[in-house]
Amino acid sequence: MQILSMSIFVEAYMKNYPSARASDVEELIGETRRTRYKGIQDIESCIQLLYIYSGCDYVSYFKGFGKKTFFDVFMKHASFITGTETACLLDFDSESALFAFYRLISAVYFSKNSTAFLPLTSVKSLYDSLHGQNIHDKHVSLISQIREKMWERVLSEQEIMPNSEALKFHWLRSSWVFQFWAQASENFLQLSSLSDFGWKKVEQTVQWYTKGCSCKTGCTSNRCKCRKSKSGSKDGFCGPGCKCTNCVNLPDKSDTSLDISLSDISLDEISDVEIDDDDYVDVDDDDDDGDDPVQAHLFSDLDMFYLASEDL
């Protein structure tokens, strides 16, 4: 957009307007020389930031909004989004950059749900209608107003505009990605600490899985490397890292019991009861006129169990 040669500009103007008078040309040249393009040197960075903000390999996308929507909304509401700052707000340490990002996302979601805000017709008019708050609270309120209006219009929670805290983390991580990409032509990258951009360093929370076996025969013999590795310090069972099929080399879960006290039940009596398949009687069978003594004994113990559990 910079005019490199005034003579070329005048020549192009005269070709388009051959009937123009010399005074008109002189007046136009004067206006051109007085024109200042604020932030024009940052347009390239601004476009790249919009690309990152809308979602990339490093940060989340906004469901239902593509990159074209972001660019169209930004071009339509550029003066509202950027405010008195430059077009891209590269000062990531400044709250004004975060607020500009809030206004960008608000404008994107407002554009899709504009009828819900009638008689207000623009995101700027909605923002201006919020009074009596500091600038931070005003932006948070803007986001909350849009989220509230969207609840009755969306089909899933994924379509709801993120809250201010989630947007802040998105903005921080997008800023880090921009720093990364901006040095793509450099031999050595100089990146800020991830802890300054929303990530937290947490120790000893990763559960490592050892690569297990891939047996096809059920892991029944010592050909299974998991079973073969059994020792005093290792159980030798297959685990989450295994790809075996029809595996039987698994921990025995038969000893798992309910976390309920059974002190009121005579476990010796229950352990003495043996129920064979032949002794099983279907309780729904109408032809069974009598009560099986084994079942009656078992049911009486179960009744005691339920009575004991109700008293807990």
Condensed to tens digits (0 to 9), the pLDDT of residues 148-202 reads: 988 888 888 888 999 999 999 999 999 899 988 988 888 888 888 888 888 888 8
Q: How many angstroms separate the CA atoms of 199 and 149, rounded?
A: 31
pLDDT of residue 144: 93
β partners of residue 231: 234
pLDDT of residue 163: 93
pLDDT of residue 270: 45
pLDDT of residue 168: 93
Compute φ and ψ for 163, nearest 5 degrees. -75, 175
Condensed to tens digits (0 to 9), the pLDDT of residues 296-309 reads: 444 444 444 444 44
Q: How many angstroms separate the CA atoms of 172 and 272, rounded?
A: 67
The whole-angstrom distance between residue 92's C-alpha and the CA centroid of its chain comes to: 22
Residue count (the chain) = 312
Name residues of the chain where pLDDT drops below 70: 1-41, 84-93, 132, 207, 253-312
pLDDT of residue 286: 45
Residue 238: exposure state from Cβ atoms within 10 A (0-12, 13-18, ≥19): buried
pLDDT of residue 275: 44
- % of the chain exceeding 70 in pLDDT: 63
